[in-house]
């Protein structure tokens, strides 16, 4: 029996990076998985891989900053998979800039993708979970939602908001049997991390080497972050809610 045997999971940002790793892992652990993303080619490739390994999956084109898309994603998941037990809010972007250098459009976009998407997906999913007797929600925050980082004002603000939104929802929806937790990854070897180097105008190799400067001396792997999300989504975490789990190689330890 897998850790998510018989569960139905919806993952935003599931076409690449941590979301892709989580979709594959959740499916291998017995879940039927809905992969929601704007990247149709990438999302469908994840679904095809899950199906090729004998799992159940579907792709849903979804802009998680739009209420209608979020409602449709939840409705389609329930209609095609038979219910919704796990929601992994993982869609996210970063813009590296101080408040002086950031423009208003970038600020608004970071807040929309990183925070508003969590609000909208949960607004659609919580009533479904509550009616079914409960569920598990996992949000992707960041180590920079626990401590500050340089030249990342909008990102830090957005991820700090995810941490506190997670805790607020845990208080509100615990009585309905819904657990709400977040993971706080450190620098992870994904395309988004390399985009940061470009935004800062730094050589990628040097940027990645600097990012690995933490107690464990390396970057995280998407598969490692997915394992933390799996734990919080599973019954192994049945008495865990309102937690912000750092998965950062010790980056925020001191």
Point out the residues that are catalytic: 155
The continuous run of DSSP H or E covering 245 comes out as strand 244-247
Q: Is residue 10 exposed (0-12), middle (13-18) or buried (19+ Cβ within 10 Å)? A: buried
For residues 225 and 20, what is the distance between their CA atoms, to the nearest angstrom?
11
Give 4-28 as a DSSP string. Answer: TTT-EEEEETTTSHHHHHHHHHHHH
Characterise 250 by phi-psi region: left (phi > 0), alpha (psi -120 to 50), beta (else). Answer: left
Please choose, from the candidates 38, 37, 161, 39, the residue with its C-alpha nearest in 3D space to the C-alpha of residue 110.
161
Instruction: Using DSSP bridges, classify how beta strands 8-12 and 244-247 pair: parallel, antiparallel or unpaired.
Output: unpaired
Count of C-beta atoms within a 10 Å radius of residue 13:
29
């Amino acid at each position: 029996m897998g850790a998510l045997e018989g569960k139905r999971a919806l993952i935003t940002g599931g076409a690449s990076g941590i979301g892709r790793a989580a979709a594959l892992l959740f499916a291998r652990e017995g879940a039927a998985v809905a992969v929601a993303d704007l990247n149709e080619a990438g999302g469908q490739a994840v679904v095809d891989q899950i199906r090729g390994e004998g799992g159940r999956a579907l792709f849903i084109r979804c802009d998680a900053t739009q209420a209608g898309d979020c409602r449709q994603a939840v409705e389609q998941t329930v209609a095609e998979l038979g219910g919704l037990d796990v929601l992994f809010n993982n869609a996210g972007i970063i813009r590296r800039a101080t408040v002086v250098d950031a423009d208003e459009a970038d600020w608004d976009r970071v807040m929309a993708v990183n925070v508003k998407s969590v609000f909208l997906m949960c607004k659609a999913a919580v009533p479904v979970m509550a009616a079914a007797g409960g569920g598990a929600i996992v949000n992707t925050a960041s180590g920079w939602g626990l401590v500050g980082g340089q030249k990342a004002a909008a990102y830090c603000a957005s991820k700090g908001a995810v941490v506190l939104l997670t805790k607020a929802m845990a208080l509100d929806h615990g009585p309905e049997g819904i657990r709400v937790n977040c993971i706080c990854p450190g620098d992870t070897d994904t395309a988004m991390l390399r985009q940061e180097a470009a935004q800062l105008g730094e050589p990628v190799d040097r940027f990645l080497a600097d990012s690995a400067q933490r107690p464990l001396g390396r970057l995280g792997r998407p598969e490692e972050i997915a394992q933390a999300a799996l734990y919080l989504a599973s019954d192994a975490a049945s008495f865990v809610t309102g937690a912000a789990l750092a998965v950062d190689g010790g980056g925020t330890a001191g």
